[in-house]
Amino acid sequence: MENIVLPTKNTWCPGCGNFGIQKAITNIVSEIGKEKTVLVSGVGCHGKMADYLDINSFYSLHGRAIASGQGVKMGNEELNVICSVGDGDAYEEGMAHLIHAAKRDADITVIVHNNRVFALTINQATSTSPKGFISNSTPQGKTEEAINPLKIMLAVGAGFVARGYVGKIDHLSRIIKQGVEHKGFSFIEILQPCVAWHNTFADYNERVYELEKEFLPLQEAEEKVKEWDYNNMESKIALGVFYKK
Amino acid sequence: MKDFQIIIGGEAGEGSKKAGMIIANFFNVYGFNVFIHEDYQSLIKGGHNFSSISVSERKVDGVREEVDFVLALNEDTIFKHKNKIKKEGGVLIYDENCTDKDFSAEGFKVVKVPLMEIVKKVEGINLMKNTALVSSFAKIIGLKWEVIEEVLGKELKVELEKNIEVAKLAFQETETVKEVEAVGEKKGELISGNEAVALGAVDAGLECFFAYPMTPATGILRFFVNYDKVKTFQPENEISVANMVLGAGYTGKRTMTGTSGGGFALMTEALSLSAQSETPFVVALSQRMGPASGVPTYQGQGDLLFALNAGHGDMMRFVVAPGDADDAYYLTGEALNTAWKYQLPSIIILDKEISENTYTFKKEKQVEKREALLAENNADYDRYDGEDISPMAFPGGEAVVKATSYEHDKKGVVTEDAEAIKKMQEKRIRKYEKLRQEVEEMETVRVTGSGSVAVVFWGSTKGAVLEAVKDLEIKAIQVLIMEPFSKKQMKEALVGVEKIISIETNATGQLSKVLQCNGFKVDEEILKYNGRPFSVDELEEKLKDL
Ligand SMILES: Cc1ncc(C[n+]2csc(CCOP(=O)(O)OP(=O)(O)O)c2C)c(N)n1
Ligand code: SF4
Ligand SMILES: [Mg+2]
């Protein structure tokens, strides 16, 4: 495998879930080739991916990677566009772009580094932080319910909806690759514990399991994504491709 | 008689704009310069819309207050405009059935045409009233039937035969009042400023156009959705638009957008990204009356300082300010070529009047695409190499192309190192210096006439100003390029000038402030900020005693 990790000084915390995603992207790029691949990243800890890999990249603004990414695809349809975005990035600042890209079936792959916290700005709650989450912006505990992004993606008609986990890199690499190969919009949420502000490794390790089927029919997928609602750590957490058109 | 002023008006939905366009075409065929100012409201049905048409042997792109002909599709139009009709030689033409009032004692000539009856006779639809009206008008001024047929054929896309029938009947039922003779060959095509922008962009190699609708820039989007060779797309909002433009630019595709102040406000973060990532970005910013939603379909020039300052950080840009369709065509070409040569944002600042008015477009200078500085697409490529302009490569080949919103090293990887930061800032400043030098070779100001008093103006006020000063000893100075601003050319333009007056359609004198910043003191300001453009007469009145 070609080494595509740049010698840039890496400033992710030791043990950060982003390392797993970096490994998965490296795996995929070595399979699909780097010439025709562009990584478009948002701004946050996740965005640094662009600085750490020796591949084409457009390091966009906070929340805007999905918009830039669609521009890249319209500019050159031969390119594989992978948007590395954060939860603050895509579910807060740039939510409209995510929903519309899914709805219009833009041929890009969105991977959400969901650490369920604004990490780079030092620990504030996002819309996928669990209810009750204590952070710098919610010292008394978050009062709002968490959203379930997979539900939203299915509701707006996304054609490929999956969830991966940085603790299962081979599985994660496989589903990202399927997302890249899927013609049309693909959405992959990645459970990415943030060891500094929201360390969910132990909980995830205990609860995650892989879906048996390659993917599910829409109605079944709609049921399945409700299994875990992001507010608690009581249920099991399914990984894999929930739905594929 | 070689100059005419015509008003044609009706309710929204009655097709007065189309009718105005048809009349403009008649005169275009007869070799006149034609200019149409559109006045309409932000509504779909009802209200009052009208077109003011200036017809002249010379280039006249402004409107006079006294008119020769008023063509009314409804009663409201008669009452709104009859006081402007010349008592001597003026004519009011209207639908017989639209009013029972009598206008015969007003002094001007009155021609009543049974428009509705004519339409009914051939079983046409109500909208065809406007066809009957323009045909009657053509007969009144003694135009040839063939011209009417030719123009209707060009302008009407549906139910042409029925319309021709309507026109024929109206033509037969009207008497000629005065003969207008042709004055020569066609002087140019009739196009709006928005269309001129689109044509200039196409000739400069435009490949993609992304936009979200906003008056008065929507006409550019309308042009491109009907133009196959440019990929056109309307995303969810202007933030998306601007970031998509940059994404497509990163792949090497010449891309632009068009919007008004509100949409441009949403694009400002991306504007700054264009500067930092050195990704070309082109926007046509068509101003309307602000602030905020303001008066959507009315004139304003309140966004100049915003255009010059929008975007955070020390960022460089190129800003052009066309004054009519010919300027818009040419300067859009310059904006696109410059954005790609210098890899920065270009803003074409327009206003409602230029965007939506119709001009006789002569294409005085042909726009050509100028190639950007390109690098070989090989493995040792660094995106931000070099002392000023870094040669571009695009993703898809051996080169790894890294563009970024963060300060970066030559490879395009983030840096926080003091030396490296300073170096990159200075690289961009050197690039701007180069641009500044090139701008000196361009026409940044245009001088007409001479005198110790100078009027300085920008944008669509050009038409009325040039007409108003033509017999006065006043030097007229139009600013064409706002940024980089050429002090040298302005200084030369002002040689022998003792008094500077700025003329603008805004409330705070934004061009004066730009001049002030560049060391030129404006002595007086003529400002208008009621959403209407200057008429020729009102400027003549203000300028004649100076
Ligand atoms: C327009 C804008 N608003 C705010 C910020 C500040 N900011 C930088 S990163 C960040 C949060 C990132 O959170 P997330 O997207 O979840 O990424 P993470 O750091 O968790 O990977 C914010 C708010 C910014 N850069 N731009
Ligand atoms: S703060 Fe969290 S997300 Fe950011 S590098 Fe550290 S562990 Fe990773
Ligand atoms: Mg986050």
Phi, psi of B66 (to 5 degrees): -85, 135
- Pairing relation of β-strands B474-479 and B445-448? antiparallel
Q: What is the pLDDT of residue B2?
A: 77
Of the candidates B198, B346, B218, B209, the residue with the CA atom closest to the CA atom of residue B271: B346
Determine the Cα–Cα distance for residues B172 and A149; give it in Å rounded to an integer.
70
- Residue A183 falls inside a structural domain: yes
B233 plus B347 within the same structural domain: yes
In degrees, rounded to 5, the angle at the alpha carbon of residue A104 between the alpha carbons of residues A99 and A107 is 100
According to DSSP, the residues that pair with B408 across neighbouring strands are B414
Q: Between chains, do B243 and A67 touch, taking CB under 8 Å as contact?
A: yes
Checking ipTM against 0.90, whether it exceeds it is yes
Q: Which run of H or E residues covers position B370?
A: none
**By percentage, how much of chain A surpasses pLDDT 90?**
98
Q: Between chains, do A50 and B402 touch, taking CB under 8 Å as contact?
A: yes
B341 plus B380 within the same structural domain: no
B514 plus B407 within the same structural domain: no
Domain of A61, in residue numbers: 18-244
CATH code at A75?
3.40.50.970
Q: Write out the two tokens for B8.
A: 């044609």
DSSP H helical ranges for chain A = 18-32, 49-52, 65-75, 87, 95-103, 149-155, 169-181, 201-207, 218-224
One-letter amino acid identity for B533? P
Q: Burial level of B45, CB count in 10 A (0-12/13-18/19+)?
A: exposed
Determine the Cα–Cα distance for residues A217 and B432; give it in Å rounded to an integer.
56
- Residue B368 falls inside a structural domain: no
- Tens-digit pLDDT profile for residues B281-308: 999 999 999 999 999 999 999 999 999 9
Phi, psi of B202 (to 5 degrees): -60, -45
Residue B1 pLDDT exceeds 60: no
B532 plus B417 within the same structural domain: no
Q: Between chains, do B270 and A73 touch, taking CB under 8 Å as contact?
A: no
Whether residue B216 has a cis bond before it, omega within 30° of 0: yes
Domain closes at, from B138, B172, B206 = B172
Asked if B211 and B234 touch (Cβ cutoff 8 Å), the reply is yes
Number of structural domains, chain A? 1
Q: Which residue has the tokens 């004198």?
A: B509
Q: Is B400 part of the contact surface with chain A (CB cutoff 8 Å)? A: yes
According to DSSP, the residues that pair with B93 across neighbouring strands are B71, B111
Answer positive or negative: Cα dihedral of A177, B242, A106, A223.
positive
Report which protein residue has its CA nearest ligand 1's atom 22: A121
- Residue B383 falls inside a structural domain: yes
Q: What is the pLDDT of residue A1?
A: 64
Of the candidates B263, B302, B260, B258, the residue with the CA atom closest to the CA atom of residue B281: B258
Closest-CA residue of chain B to A74:
B248
B457 plus B396 within the same structural domain: no
B181 C-alpha to ligand 1 centroid (Å): 69
Determine the Cα–Cα distance for residues A180 and A98; give it in Å rounded to an integer.
16
CA separation, residue B23 to residues B16, B148, B179, B305 (Å): 10, 9, 15, 38
Determine the Cα–Cα distance for residues B150 and B162; give it in Å rounded to an integer.
15
- Pairing relation of β-strands B453-457 and B69-72? unpaired
Shortest CA gap A21–chain B (Å): 19
Residue A21 pLDDT exceeds 70: yes
- Tens-digit pLDDT profile for residues B89-100: 999 999 999 999
B225 plus B293 within the same structural domain: yes
- Residue B366 falls inside a structural domain: no
A42 CA: nearest ligand 1 atom: 15
pLDDT tier at A2 (50, 70, 90 boundaries)?
confident
Residue B468 pLDDT exceeds 60: yes
B410 plus B507 within the same structural domain: no
CATH code at B480?
3.40.50.920
Q: Which of A69, A74, A97 lies closest to B236 in CB terms?
A: A97
Q: Which residue has the tokens 């630019």?
A: B249
Residue B429 pLDDT exceeds 90: yes
Q: Which run of H or E residues covers position B9?
A: strand B4-12
The residues, any chain, with a CB within 8 Å of residue B390's CB and separated by 6 or more, are B278, B343, B375, B382, B383, B384, B410, B427
Of the candidates B374, B313, B311, the residue with the CA atom closest to the CA atom of residue B346: B311
Domain of B79, in residue numbers: 3-172
- Ligand closest to Cα of A42 equals 1
Determine the Cα–Cα distance for residues B468 and B89; give it in Å rounded to an integer.
23
Of the candidates A181, A197, A156, the residue with the CA atom closest to the CA atom of residue A241: A181
Report which protein residue has its CA nearest ligand 1's atom 3: A62
CA separation, residue B130 to residues A90, B19, B28, B167 (Å): 52, 6, 19, 9
B277 CB neighbours in chain A (<8 A) are 58-59
B254 plus B231 within the same structural domain: yes
- Name every protein residue with a CB atom under 6 angstroms from any ligand 2 atom: A 12-13, 16, 18, 45, 115, 119, 194-197
B128 plus B8 within the same structural domain: yes
According to DSSP, the residues that pair with B527 across neighbouring strands are B504
- For B315-337, the DSSP string reads ---EEE---SHHHHHHHHHHHHH
Q: What is the mean pLDDT of residues B213-232?
A: 98
Q: What is the pLDDT of residue B46?
A: 83
B332 plus B462 within the same structural domain: no
Phi-psi region of B176 (alpha: psi -120 to 50; beta: other; left: phi over 0): beta
Residue B471 pLDDT exceeds 70: yes
Domain closes at, from B417, B439, B461 = B439
B418 plus B335 within the same structural domain: no
- Tens-digit pLDDT profile for residues A141-199: 999 999 999 999 999 999 999 999 999 999 999 999 999 999 999 999 999 999 999 99
Asked if B503 and B32 touch (Cβ cutoff 8 Å), the reply is no
- Pairing relation of β-strands B318-320 and B481-483? antiparallel
Asked if B375 and B391 touch (Cβ cutoff 8 Å), the reply is yes
- Ligand closest to Cα of A16 equals 2
- Residue A11 falls inside a structural domain: no
Q: Write out the two tokens for A176.
A: 């990202």
Q: Average pLDDT over chain B, rounded to whole?
A: 97
Domain closes at, from B172, B203, B219 = B172
Q: What is the mean pLDDT of residues B418-434?
A: 98
A11 C-alpha to ligand 2 centroid (Å): 9
User: How many A×B Cβ pairs under 8 Å?
Assistant: 129
- Tens-digit pLDDT profile for residues B328-382: 999 999 999 999 999 999 999 999 999 999 999 999 999 999 999 999 999 999 9
Sheet of strand B345-351, all strands in order from the earlier edge strand to the far edge: B231-233, B208-210, B255-259, B281-287, B345-351, B318-320, B481-483
A149 C-alpha to ligand 3 centroid (Å): 14
Closest-CA residue of chain B to A39:
B402
Number of structural domains, chain B? 4
Q: Between chains, do B401 and A56 touch, taking CB under 8 Å as contact?
A: yes
Q: Between chains, do B250 and A48 touch, taking CB under 8 Å as contact?
A: no
- Ligand closest to Cα of A17 equals 2
Q: Write out the two tokens for B193.
A: 């400023």
B434 plus B471 within the same structural domain: no
Between positions 186 and 225 of B, the ones with CB within 8 A of A are 208, 210
What distance, in Å, lies between the first and last C-alpha atoms of chain B?
Answer: 30
Determine the Cα–Cα distance for residues B319 and B340; give it in Å rounded to an integer.
14
Q: What is the mean pLDDT of residues B111-138?
A: 94
pTM above threshold 0.95: yes
Q: What is the pLDDT of residue B545?
A: 81
Asked if B139 and B179 touch (Cβ cutoff 8 Å), the reply is no
Residue B39 pLDDT exceeds 70: yes
